[in-house]
Amino acid sequence: MAEKTNARFLIDEIFDKIFKKAKVSQKEQEQVNAALNKELIEKPFRVAVIGQSGVGKSTTLNSVFGLKNYTSNLAEGTTEIVEKIFPMRDGFKLSIYDMPGLNNDVDKDIEYEKLYKKILPGCDVIVYIINAHSRDFGEDCRILKEVVLPICNNNQIRENMVLAVNKIDTIGENIDPNDPELQWDVFRNEPTKKLKAAIKTKLGDIVDKLIDERLLGTAEGFAQHQVVFYSAVFNYNLQDFIRAISKAGKRGWIWPATVGFEQAGRWSDAKVIAN
């Protein structure tokens, strides 16, 4: 862990080092700092989170994006999504669009698709969450292929996407909910040996499905780093998620640049300030 300094954000610390190396004038340093500061502070970092109810949108926002006690309150049939802006630290703001997942209801799906088309192009990161516990990913694959990826490809924002496979901790429940060896080891905060094997098999199946559907391993699908596996409830393997965000589109780097030296999930008392 880096030593504590007076730097507000991680990027301030990084650029302090860059300036020392570069030996540039005070005026030039101020010019760079002012531009970076403006980019970080003036525009909120916009995140769209898409997923069926129960996939863990709220826990993901709480654990990955450092929101405390965020609760998804999407009403049934919601066809208007509001931007919720959360003040994070030192003037940096996080903006969340909590989006409903499509659900095989033709009329609603048309409305939701319109919402996706309207909102997604303005987002810095688009997180599509699927539930690792789920037995069937067919519908998610269809939505990704027929709706979400075409919107992203048409707007050249496919790089902004993260395909997030949540709830890997619950994979054992489908096999035998009564087997303690298939439950999460809460003391060590990691899967038991048996659960690890089950997770590996299940994730292997998910990857096979994504490849079969040409969502992974093809030029028109996701890149490997855009697919992440994690448990939001247990804060497990979140680093891959942070990496995927940092690589997302033109502004993904801004998220980790503002983290500072605390860990994600502990760095704000964010309360919603605008609807």
Give the shortest CB-90-to-another protein separation in angstroms: 15
**What DSSP string runs through 209-226?**
HHHHTTSBSSTTSB-GGG
β-strands 184-185, 190-191 pairing: antiparallel
Q: Is 259 in the site for another protein (CB under 8 A)?
A: yes
- Determine the Cα–Cα distance for residues 186 and 144; give it in Å rounded to an integer: 33
- Determine the Cα–Cα distance for residues 253 and 126; give it in Å rounded to an integer: 14
Q: Is 141 in the site for another protein (CB under 8 A)?
A: no
Q: Is 10 in the site for another protein (CB under 8 A)?
A: yes
Select from 2, 82, 273, 274 the one that contacts another protein (CB under 8 A).
Answer: 2
- Determine the Cα–Cα distance for residues 237 and 161; give it in Å rounded to an integer: 18
**25 vs 53, beta carbon nearer another protein:** 25
Select from 217, 269, 271, 273 the one that contacts another protein (CB under 8 A).
Answer: 217
**97 vs 222, beta carbon nearer another protein:** 222
Q: Is 127 in the site for another protein (CB under 8 A)?
A: no
Give the shortest CB-191-to-another protein separation in angstroms: 7
Burial of 35 (0-12, 13-18, 19+ CB in 10 A): exposed
E-strand spans in the chain? 45-51, 84-87, 93-100, 125-131, 161-166, 184-185, 190-191, 227-229
List of residues contacting another protein (CB under 8 A): 1-2, 10-11, 14-15, 17-19, 21-24, 28, 31-32, 35-36, 39, 189-191, 196, 199-200, 203-204, 207-208, 211-212, 216-219, 223-224, 227, 229, 235-240, 242-243, 246-247, 250-254, 256-257, 259-261, 263-265
